[in-house]
Chain A
Amino acid sequence: MGQYVIRRVGYCLLSLFLLSLTIFFFVRVTGDPAALLVEPGASADDIAAIHHQFGLDRPLWVQYGLFMWSLVRGDLGQSFYYQTPVFDLYMSRLPNSLMLAAVAMIFSLLVGIPSGILASVRVGRFWDSAGKMFALLGLSLPSFWVGLVLILLFSVYLKWLPSSGAGTPLHLIMPAFALGWYFAAAHMRLTRSSMLEVLGSEYIKLARLKGLPEALVIAKHAFKNALIPVITLAGINLVIMVNVAVVVETVFAWPGIGRLLYEGITFRDFPVVQGVVLLGGAMIVVVNLIVDILYAVIDPRIRLER
């Protein structure tokens, strides 16, 4: 198990390195760094100062060195709009996004897993077809449109739920639903195919041969095995949710990092944009690592391997 962990950690570090390299590359090479890194409406002196600060006239690898050096120290620059360090800004907004993502994830699992199991047990019949329809809709409806329609229905017409902001659990319902909708469909699909695969295995046959009631065969033997890939995906999806929540947060004015990204784009606040993307990516890589390790905990086979 030790070797496994070390190998995974190494891979994680490599990915982080490559991620920063990619971001750096794109900014320096494809954009006009001077324009981006400078506040809108800056004077010529300011531009010159920026040139000096970021070493824009020095060779690329030097620039990269400077970049990495500031990254390692946690310095992601300063937001033009808020005049505070990007890192602090991010960290203050992150809990909100995490909360939203967590609720959305719970929703998507509560809907996705049972419907996936139902579809797999009733393969080819009504519930399976219904499940497939649901999966298709989940993939075809943009999350922000779902959010907008929900607002129309529940805030404007029915006046039951608040349409924006955060603060009470009521504020959480619609954004979580809009965000979780797509992932519910994805989880349903995976649960279904995973269950189908497990249900075809020999140990399920033996479980039936033992005379176990079908409910036990499915709930105990099939379920736990089928759940492994789903949980893996769910873990990774949680972080992805945090990142792609940008639209949902914008629609509902939810004060998370997604909305921060939107503000960054709208106000041409590039350090914020860069910071959110970098930190988002880093979060994903780290969570991948954690999920890999958890995987080894759930599945006893991996513990003894490697």
Chain B
Amino acid sequence: MSTPADIIALPSQPPRERARRRMIRIGEFPVVPTAILLAIALVAIFANQLAPHNPEIGSLTARFKPPFWQAGGTMKYILGTDQLGRDVLSRLIFGARVSMVVGIMAVLVAGVVGTVLGILSGYLGGWVDQVIMRITDTWLALPALTFAIFLAAIVGPSMWNIVIILGVTYWTRYARVIRGEVLSLREREFVRLAIVAGCSKWSIMARHILPNVINSAIVLGSLMLGVVIITEATLSFLGVGVPPPQPAWGLMLSDGKQGLMVGYWWLTVFPGLCIMLMVLSANLLGDWLRVKLDPQLRQL
């Protein structure tokens, strides 16, 4: 008298399954990632108030102190100090500022440039399209990291240079996607109506096309944020990113390498965890936005 698998009234899921799926449920607002990002933003804004010490000046008598729970650590430097006696926690806090600023600004630059060029390329077509497409193809042939390193080597390190470089490196990804959207938008009724009504190309692009691609741009932006931050950290790690003594998480990792072989783990683990938290949150938020704002973009 066994009932085969498919004659049942309704499928019922064990509670553990449901709880697990809740983490990545589509449609449910990702509270934790957004909270983390907001927290990091707040830390970045109020760095001056929050940091217990000056991040750029250290005390040479307090070099390589471990975090307070380990032997040799003190509550004065909660997360320890680095090779110049600078407080790790303070540097992490100010590093948040660098990551936030560079990340957001780079995404904005790349986004604006990429969206504008994507719209122009998709809507105007013809040689404009060809030129822009060839450029993006070539750009995309090089991995972003290599390209960014190359540019950084040429222009020299500084925070704003990095923003520009990252923007220049990543606009092509925007342009590609936006162009695709515009190509299909171009054929839609409301655009045809606008053309027939005598609107100029520019006003159509600005007033009809642009609002419709904003969604995709936002989604792309949130996905790009994580990538940009990792690239910036990588550049700083290699020495061509944000220059010392400004605290950037990637730079802290590079400094931390010195202490690694002797077991000064806190110089490596904490900055990395910060990067991971920020990028993970950005990615989770981006994933949710992607599904929420435009089901078509699930391909991204």
Q: Do chains A and B touch in the complex (CB under 8 A)?
A: yes
- B269 → chain A closest CB, angstroms: 7
In the complex, what distance in Å separates the CA atom of A244 from the CA atom of B226?
17
Contact B21 A285 (CB under 8 A): no
Residues 216-251 of A contacting B (Cβ, < 8 Å): 240, 243-244, 246-247, 250-251
B190 contacts chain A at the CB level, 8 A cutoff: no
A156 touches which one: B23, B146, B226, B261 (CB < 8 A)? B261
Residues 124-147 of B contacting A (Cβ, < 8 Å): 134-135, 137-139, 141-143, 145-147
Residues of A within 8 A of B142 (CB): 19, 243, 277, 280-281, 284
- A21 → chain B closest CB, angstroms: 8
B58 contacts chain A at the CB level, 8 A cutoff: no
B121 contacts chain A at the CB level, 8 A cutoff: no
Contact B141 A148 (CB under 8 A): no
Contact B153 A148 (CB under 8 A): no
B141 touches which one: A19, A124, A141, A145 (CB < 8 A)? A19
Contact A142 B272 (CB under 8 A): yes
B234 touches which one: A133, A144, A151, A281 (CB < 8 A)? A144
B205 contacts chain A at the CB level, 8 A cutoff: no
A247 touches which one: B154, B155, B238, B283 (CB < 8 A)? B238
In the complex, what distance in Å separates the CA atom of A133 from the CA atom of B23?
10
Contact B150 A26 (CB under 8 A): yes
A246 touches which one: B238, B262, B265 (CB < 8 A)? B238
In the complex, what distance in Å separates the CA atom of A270 from the CA atom of B284?
39
Tell me the count of chain B residues lying within 8 A, CB to CB, of chain A.
Answer: 49
Contact A129 B21 (CB under 8 A): yes
Contact B263 A156 (CB under 8 A): yes
Contact B238 A142 (CB under 8 A): no
For B233, give the chain A residue with the smallest CB separation: A142
For A242, give the chain B residue with the smallest CB separation: B143
- A54 → chain B closest CB, angstroms: 15
In the complex, what distance in Å separates the CA atom of A26 from the CA atom of B283?
32
In the complex, what distance in Å separates the CA atom of A244 from the CA atom of B20?
35
B-contact 0/1 string along A98-142, CB 8 Å cutoff: 000000000000000000000000001110010011001101111
- A140 → chain B closest CB, angstroms: 4
Contact B237 A27 (CB under 8 A): no
In the complex, what distance in Å separates the CA atom of A148 from the CA atom of B138?
33
In the complex, what distance in Å separates the CA atom of A281 from the CA atom of B287?
31
Q: A144-B237, A148-B257, A152-B260 are in contact. Are A264 and B153 (CB under 8 A)?
A: yes
In the complex, what distance in Å separates the CA atom of A30 from the CA atom of B152?
11
A294 contacts chain B at the CB level, 8 A cutoff: no
A155 contacts chain B at the CB level, 8 A cutoff: yes
Stretch in B111-119, B177-185, B214-222, B274-282 touching the partner: B274-282
B242 contacts chain A at the CB level, 8 A cutoff: no
Q: A19-B138, A22-B139 are in contact. Are A36 and B260 (CB under 8 A)?
A: no
Residues of B within 8 A of A273 (CB): 149-150, 153
Contact B226 A163 (CB under 8 A): no
B24 contacts chain A at the CB level, 8 A cutoff: yes
Contact A129 B23 (CB under 8 A): yes
**How many residue pairs, one in A and one in B, have C-beta atoms under 8 Å apart?**
143
Residues of A within 8 A of B237 (CB): 142, 144, 247, 250
B52 contacts chain A at the CB level, 8 A cutoff: no
Contact B253 A126 (CB under 8 A): no
Q: A30-B154, A151-B260, A244-B145 are in contact. Are A250 and B20 (CB under 8 A)?
A: no
In the complex, what distance in Å separates the CA atom of A166 from the CA atom of B269?
25
A15 contacts chain B at the CB level, 8 A cutoff: yes
**Residues of A in contact with B, size category:** 35 or more
A212 contacts chain B at the CB level, 8 A cutoff: no
A244 touches which one: B141, B146, B263, B280 (CB < 8 A)? B146
Residues of B within 8 A of A151 (CB): 260-261
Residues of B within 8 A of A251 (CB): 257
Contact A18 B134 (CB under 8 A): yes
In the complex, what distance in Å separates the CA atom of A133 from the CA atom of B272?
18
Contact A265 B234 (CB under 8 A): no
B143 touches which one: A133, A157, A244, A266 (CB < 8 A)? A244
Residues of B within 8 A of A277 (CB): 142, 146-147, 149-150
- A180 → chain B closest CB, angstroms: 16
- A281 → chain B closest CB, angstroms: 5
A176 contacts chain B at the CB level, 8 A cutoff: no
Residues of B within 8 A of A26 (CB): 150-151, 154
- A274 → chain B closest CB, angstroms: 8
User: Could you say which of A144, A250, A266, A281 has the most chain B C-beta atoms within 10 Å of its C-beta?
Assistant: A144
B239 contacts chain A at the CB level, 8 A cutoff: yes
For B145, give the chain A residue with the smallest CB separation: A244
A261 contacts chain B at the CB level, 8 A cutoff: yes
B55 contacts chain A at the CB level, 8 A cutoff: no
Residues of A within 8 A of B143 (CB): 240, 243-244, 280, 284
B-contact 0/1 string along A54-77, CB 8 Å cutoff: 000000000000000000000000
A145 touches which one: B134, B139, B154, B275 (CB < 8 A)? B275
A206 contacts chain B at the CB level, 8 A cutoff: no
**Given A148-B268, A285-B141: 6 more A-B contacts, CB < 8 Å:** A132-B24, A133-B23, A136-B284, A145-B276, A277-B142, A280-B142
Q: 15 interchain pairs (CB within 8 A)? A: A15-B141, A26-B151, A30-B151, A129-B21, A139-B226, A140-B280, A144-B237, A145-B276, A148-B260, A149-B268, A149-B269, A151-B261, A247-B145, A250-B238, A273-B153
Q: 6 closest pairs, A vs B, by CB?
A: A31-B154, A145-B272, A18-B138, A140-B280, A140-B279, A277-B150
